[in-house]
Copies of this chain bind each other. A is one copy, B any other.
Amino acid sequence: MDFERIGVHEVWQGRIASVRVETWRLDDGAEVEREVVGHPGAVAVVAHDGERLFLVTQPREAVGDPALLELPAGKLDEDGEDVLNTAKRELAEEIGKGARSWRHLTSFWSSPGFSDEEIHVYLATDLFDSQAEADENERIEIVTVALSRLDDAIHRCRDAKSLVGLLWLKAFGEGG
């Protein structure tokens, strides 16, 4: 027996996310139905210049927060764009920086029980000022936190990608 998707039908299509009902045959032969929220995936960037971490706040209506503190991040929403290039574009758009050093830290599923969203987390260092492209969201504000206060930043962040990225930096430093 194979773990295999044997059927799918779309039940809702939004501007970013979608919902489909999938039928799977499991390894033991059983067939199950699963409701799956489809999402194109995202990147998030732990960016620091050796002294300061660069974070952002923005309104997050889904969770009722007018200024949630997060890593610079964005959706993989440009057709065929390389993941690392998306990270570079988002860093420039959100904090007006480029980076000479890029390292992939980890990639993870945000909610594998019901969503296929995957988030790719990068570390960007050796920063330089970049011509920021116009961002579609003018409500993003840049927040810098001293790297020596990384623990504070971890305790202030309340979302998966920011916790994973900052905890990874705390746990493994530039290695890991």
Contacts and interface: CB of A to CB of B under 8 A. Distances in A.
B22 A36 contact: no
A116 B14 contact: no
Nearest to A68: B112
Contacts of A75: 113
Interface size bracket, A side: 35 or more
Copies in the complex: 2
A14 B26 CA distance: 22
A142 interface: no
B114 A17 contact: yes
A26 B154 contact: no
A134 interface: no
Contacts of A39: 111, 114
A157 B176 CA distance: 14
A84 B62 CA distance: 24
A34 B59 CA distance: 11
